[in-house]
Structure 1
Amino acid sequence: MERKLSIFIAAFFIFLMLFISVILISEYRNMDRLKSKNPSIPEKNYNYRKSALKLWAVNLVIKFLVPVLLLATGISNRIWLFAEGKGRNIFFAGIIYVVIFSIIDLLITLPTDYYGFVLRHRYGLSDQTIYRWLELNLKNFILNTIVFSLVIWFPYYLMRISPNRWWLYLGLLAIPVIAFVNFISPTYIDPIFNKYIAVDKGNDDLGRDIKKLLDKAGVGDADIFIVDKSRDTNTLNAYMTGIWSSKRIVLWDTTVNKMEREEVLSVTAHEIGHYVLGHIWKGIVLGGLFSVLLVYLIYKTSNWMLVRSNGSFGFTKIYSIASLPLFIFVLNMYMFLGNPIANFVSRHMEREADAYEINLTKDREAAISAMIKLSEESLSIPRPSEIYKIWFYTHPPVEERIEFFEKVNIQEDSP
C-alpha cells in the first residue's frame, strides 16, 4: 500500500473522530443552554438524546471502519475467491459473495441495532416485542440480500466492458431506477413489514374530513392509508410516498390515536403539501442528478485508491466483486460529506409543506399543538446545535417550525 493511500485513510479517520468530538461537545453545550432557558423540558428528553448520540457515534465509526478492515485484511478478496470457485459464473458467484457479505454485516451491526431496541424501550418510545424486532430484522435481511444478490453482477459487468464510462451509464439509470422503486415500494415492499388500511373517505368521520381537505386542495383522488406502527413505536409520524397510481399519504396509527381530529387534519395537510408541490418528483430528479455526480466521484476515488493499494487488498481490478467494500467506503464518505446539501434541500421542502399546511387548514392552533405532540412523543429537544442541524436535520427544528406557525400570515384566498 502506497504511503499516500495510508495517509488518506488515516486522515479521514482523524477527521471523523474530530467531527464526532465536535458534534458531541456542541450538542452537550446546546443541551446545557436549553436546560437553563427551557426548564419545563423533562430531563428524560436530554438523557435519551445523550444515549442516542453515543449510539450514533458508534454506528458512524462502524460504517467506515468495517469496509476498510474487510479490504485491508484481504477478507473480502478471500470471500470472492471462495464464491468464484463455487459459482458457475459471475451471476452465481455474485450471489454467494453477497450472501456471505450480508451475513457478516448483519453480525457486526446486530449488537448496536439491539442496543437501539433496548434504548427505545428504556425511554418508553416503543413497546415492540423482541419477536417482532427479530421478525423485522430477518425480513429486512432477506429482502436486501435477495435484491442485492440479483443485481450485483450488473454494475460489475459494466465495469468490465466499459472501464471508463460505466459510471455514466449507472448514473443515467438512477432516475428511472429511483422512480421505479418509488412506484413499487408502497404497494409491494412496505406491506411486507406492516399492515396498511385505506381510510374510508365516505363513511368514516375522519375520512370525510380528510376527503374535504383533499377536495379543497384539488387532489380528491389521493389515497390515504393508516399503518399499524404502534406495533413498533410509540412516536407519531405521517408521510407522503409513491408515484403515479401508487401515490398515497400514510398516517401512523399512533398519530390518529394520540392526536385530536384537527391535529390529524393539520398533519395530513402537510403531507398534501408535499403531494401538491411535487416534492416526490423533485426528490427523484434531484436524486438522479446527484447520483451521476456521486457515481463519478466514486469511480475516480475508487480507482485512485485501488491503484495505490499496490495489490494489498488482494485484487488489482476494479471489476472484481471483492472491491465491494471499497465502493461502500467511498459511497459512505461522499454521502456523509454531501449530507449538508441534501438536508438543506429537504428542510426547504419541509418549510414549503408547512406553509401549505397552515394555508390549507387556516388552523394555527392545530398546527402548533400537533407539532408539540410530535415533539413530546419522540422525546425531542426544541433545537439542536447549529452544526448538527446543518449536517443531520432533514426537517427544521421544532422550535423554528412552531415560531413559523405563530408568526406566519395566513392567506385567506389560498386553496
Structure 2
Amino acid sequence: MENKSLYLFIIVLIVVLEFVWTQYLAYRNRKRMSPQIPDQLEGIYDKEDYKKQQEYQKTNSRFGLYVSSFSFVVLLMVLLLGGFGWLDSVLRDFTNNEIALTLSFFGIIYIANAIISLPFEYYSTFIIEERFGFNKSTKKTFWLDQLKGLLLVAVLGGVILSVIVWLYEELGDMAWLYAWGVVTCFSLFMTLFYSNIIVPLFNKQTPLEEGELRDAIENFATKAGFEINNIYVMDASKRSTKANAYFTGFGAKKRIVLFDTLIKDLETEEIVAVLAHEIGHYKKKHTLQGIFISICYTGIILFLLSLFLGSKDIALALGTEDPSFHIGMIAFSILFTPISMIIGIFSSIHSRKNEYQADAYAASFGLGDALMSGLKKLSVKSLSNLNPDPLFVFFYYSHPTLLQRMSALKKK
C-alpha cells in the first residue's frame, strides 16, 4: 500500500472509530434512562419533573445522534472525495501566499460548517429548548449572536492564525517554540480580560447592588481571606432560564460573575455556597494548575503539528500535491484524535478531583448543606441527568455527578 493510501486509510479509520465509540457511549447513556424514578433520586426529583427530565435528555441525545451522523457523513465524503485537496487547488489559482491560502481555506471551511450547523442550532434553540421552557432568546438575538461570533472568529482567529503561519514559514524547525509563546500570551490575555472584552459583546454585566446578597458574599470573602471587589450580575435570562456563576481572572483582575437566573433561583446562603466552591478552586490553585496544564498541552500540540506540515504523503492522502500549513493541520487534527481522547480521560479525572476539593473547601466553612441544596435546585431546574451511565461519566464528565458530590459532602 502506498504511503498516501495508508495515511488516508488511517485517517478514515480514526474518523469511523471515533464516531462509533462516541455513539456507543451515547447509546449506553440512553439505555440507562427510564420513566421510573430510581430510589437514590427520591426527594430530589418528583415523578413529574423526573419524567420531564428523562424526556428532555432523550430528546437531546437523539438529536445529537442525528447531528453527529450528518457531520460524520459529510466529513467522510470530503475525505474520500479529496474535498480538502480540491479546495486547496482552487484557492491556489488565486494566490500562492501561504498566509492568504490558510486564512481563505479555514475561512471557507468555517463558513461552510456554520451554514450546515445553523439549522441544527436553530432547531435546538427554538424547538427543543423552547419546548422544555428553557429558551428566552429572540430570533433577533440568535442571529446577532451568530454574526458577532463570526466576526469575533474572523478577527481574533485570523490574527492569531496569520502570526502562527508566518512563524512556521519563516523560522523553520524552531517556529513551534515561538508559536507556543504567542498562543500562551494570547491565552493569558484572554484569561485576564475575557469578561471585560468578550462577554460585553453578548451580555450586559452590572455591578451587584448593595444589599443582603452582596454583604453575604463580601463577608464570606473576608472570612476566607479572598479579596474581591468585582462582583457582577450578567443578564443570562435574555437567552435561557438555566443558571450559573463563574470566576475569572486572577490577581487584581479577579471577577465573580453571577447569572441573574442564579440569583432568582437560589437563596442567599446557597449562592454564597456556590461561590465558596468557585473560590475554593482559586484557593486550591486549580486555576493556576489549569493554566499551566493548558500551556504545556499547547506546546506539545504545536511541536507535534510541526512534524506534519511538510509531509508530502499526508498532502497526497488529502488530495493535493502541495504540502502546506492548512493541509497538515487538518490531517493532524484527525490523526491526533486517539491521543486527544486519552488525554481527555486524564483531564476529566483531574477535573473531577478538583471539584471534590472545591466542594470540601465550601463545606469547611459550614456551607456543605447549603451547597447541596443549591446544586439540587440547579440540577432539577436545568433537567440535568442525575443518573448517567458510569462509562459515559468516566469519559466525558468534568464534574462528578450530583449524587457523587452529595455523597462526598455528607462525609465532611
Same-fold call, TM > 0.5?
yes
Deviations 1:309-334 (A, max 9, x none): 53652243133x45453344346564
Instruction: Give 1:204 deviation, angstroms.
Output: 2.0
User: Which of 389, 400, 404 is equivalent to 1:400?
Assistant: 404
TM-score for both structures, normalised by structure 1: 0.86
Cα contact 1:175–1:285 (8 A) shared by 2: no
From 339, 345, 350, the equivalent of 1:345 is 350
**1:68 deviation in Å?**
5.7
DSSP-derived class of the 2:33 partner? helix
Q: Distance in 2 between matches of 1:33 and 1:293?
A: 46
Tell me how far 1:253 sits from its aligned partner: 0.5
Matches within 5 A, 1:10-409: 10-32=12-34, 35-37=37-39, 38=41, 40=46, 42-60=50-68, 69-70=77-78, 72-81=80-89, 83=91, 86=94, 89-117=97-125, 118-200=127-209, 203-300=210-307, 307-308=313-314, 310=316, 312-319=318-325, 321-330=326-335, 334-360=339-365, 362-408=366-412
Q: After alignment, is 276-285 or 24-33 more displaced?
A: 24-33
Local SS of the residue matching 1:219? coil
C-alpha distance 123-75 of structure 1, shift in aligned 2 (>3 A): same
Is 1:249–1:272's contact at 8 Å kept on the other side of the alignment?
no
Where structure 1 has 5 or more consecutive residues not aligned to the other structure, the ranges are: 409-415
Separation of aligned partners in 2, 1:133 and 1:392:
28
Q: Is the 8 A contact 1:71 1:326 kept in 2?
A: no
Q: Counterparts of 1:331 and 1:145 in 2: how far apart (Å)?
A: 25
How much has 1:32 moved relative to structure 2? 3.7
The alpha-carbon distance between structure 1 residues 34 and 324, as it changes in their structure 2 partners (threshold 3 A), is farther
Q: CA RMSD in A?
A: 2.8
Please tell me whether the aligned partners of residues 240 and 274 of structure 1 are also in contact (alpha carbons under 8 angstroms). no
Deviation at 1:285, TM superposition (A): 0.6
Deviates most, 345-354 or 65-74? 65-74
Decide whether the 8 Å contact of 1:87 with 1:93 is kept in 2: yes
Aligned identity (percent) is 22
SS in 1 for 2:364: helix
Partner AA of 2:169 in structure 1: R
Quickly say closer, same or farther: Cα 1:334–1:166, change in 2 above 3 A: farther
SS of residue in 2 equivalent to 1:25: helix
**C-alpha distance in 2 between matches for 1:364 and 1:69:** 52
Unmatched tracts of structure 2, length 5 or more: none
Aligned-pair CA distance for 1:64:
6.1
Alignment partner of 1:111: what SS?
Answer: helix
Decide whether aligned partners of structure 1 residues 301 and 31 sit closer, same or farther in structure 2, where only a CA change above 3 A counts: farther
Q: Secondary structure at the match of 1:310?
A: helix
Give 1:210 deviation, angstroms.
0.9
CA contact (8 A) 1:228 1:253 kept: yes
Question: Secondary structure of 1:249's match?
Answer: strand
In 2 relative to 1, CA 315–68 (structure 1 residues): closer, same or farther, beyond 3 Å? farther
For 1:172 and 1:402, the matched residues in 2 are separated by 41
Amino acid in the other structure paired with 1:383: N
C-alpha distance in structure 2 between counterparts of 1:386 and 1:302, whole Å: 39
Query: SS of the residue aligned with 1:226?
Result: strand
* Secondary structure in structure 2 of the residue aligned to 1:197: strand
CA distance in 2, matches of 1:393, 1:222: 32
CA deviation after TM superposition for structure 1 residue 195, in Å: 0.6
In the other structure, the counterpart of 1:412 is none
Which stretch of structure 1 is more off in the superposition, 158-167 or 393-402?
A: 158-167
Q: Is the 8 A contact 1:198 1:226 kept in 2?
A: yes
Identify if the C-alpha distance between structure 1 residues 245 and 66 changes in structure 2 by more than 3 Å, giving closer, same or farther: farther
User: SS of 1:152's equivalent?
Assistant: helix
Amino acid at match of 1:357: A
Contact 1:229–1:252 (CA under 8 A) maintained in structure 2: yes
Counterpart contact for 1:23–1:387, Cα < 8 Å: yes
State the 1:365 CA deviation: 2.7
Q: Distance in 1 between matches of 2:252 and 2:278?
A: 17
Paired residues in the alignment total 403
Q: CA deviation at 1:231?
A: 0.8
Q: Cα–Cα, structure 1 residues 173 and 236, in superposed 2: closer, same or farther, change >3 Å?
A: same
Supply the distance in 1 between the matched residues of 2:364 and 2:230 (Cα, whole angstroms). 21
Does structure 1 retain, via aligned residues, the 8 Å contact 2:318–2:327?
A: no
CA distance in 2, matches of 1:25, 1:71: 26
Residue pair 2:180, 2:298 contacting (<8 A) in 1 also: yes
Aligned to 1:342, the other structure's residue is in SS state helix
Q: What TM-score results when the alignment is normalised by the length of structure 2?
A: 0.87
Q: How far apart, in 2, do the equivalents of 1:398 and 1:34 lie? A: 19
Deviation, 1:380, is 1.0
Query: What is the CA–CA distance in structure 1 between the aligned matches of 2:89 and 2:17, rounded to whole Å?
Result: 34
- CA–CA distance in 2 between the matches of 1:222 and 1:165? 43
